[in-house]
Amino acid sequence: QAREEIHEYLGGRRAFFGVSVDLSTVPDFQRRVLEAARQIPFGEARPYAWVAEQIGRPRAVRAVGTALARNPVPLIVPCHRVWRSDGGLGGYLFGTDVKSRLLALERGTPVLEGCATTRIVCRVGCVHGRRMRAENRVIFASVDDARSVGYRPCRVCRPAA
């Protein structure tokens, strides 16, 4: 399942990962860093300092970078969405060129799609979205936009408001 989801993500057909990730064997500090990184929305990025603040260790910015560099599941735990406070990309396991391309891919991939026949809005990559016919697919910028024209959020992928 992870391989299929990664393939869809890299093809611009998925905006989230549904596979579960077991971080129980990862040291506590690193696990907290990775869990904070998972909260960064698709298509957005945050500085290392933001992650440090989220885990209650605002002065541990370098340690956050080290923890992200040892991410056992890059892409699924999106360490590429974390950058330096000065706007620089920072490091990445697969190199800064790949990091830059992943961020560009996410900026160019729609996050929400609705089905004109069911009036349900899903995150791109949801099992329900894959069943939509192309002529029924409607792209939305937000769940609020979808609600304003009578769509409801999917109960499977639960797109955020």
* 100-147 residue pLDDT tens: 999 999 988 888 999 999 999 999 888 888 888 999 999 998 899 999
* 2-108: CATH architecture: Orthogonal Bundle (1.10)
55-64, 83-92, 110-119, range with greatest mean pLDDT: 55-64
pLDDT at 110: 83
Instruction: Return phi, psi of residue 74, to 5°.
Output: -60, 155
Catalytic center residues: 79
pLDDT at 83: 94
Q: Where are the domains of the chain?
A: 2-108, 112-153
Q: Which residues partner with 152 through β-bridges?
A: 120
Residue whose C-alpha is closest to residue 98's, from 80, 82, 111 = 80
| Per-position DSSP letters for 99-134, written without gaps between them | HHHHHHHHHHS-SEEEETTTTEEEETT-HHHHTS-G
The whole-model pTM stands at: 0.78
pLDDT at 141: 84
Distances 48 to 16, 32, 74 between C-alpha atoms, Å: 21, 13, 16
* 12-51 residue pLDDT tens: 888 889 899 999 999 999 999 999 999 998 888 999 999 9
pLDDT at 35: 97
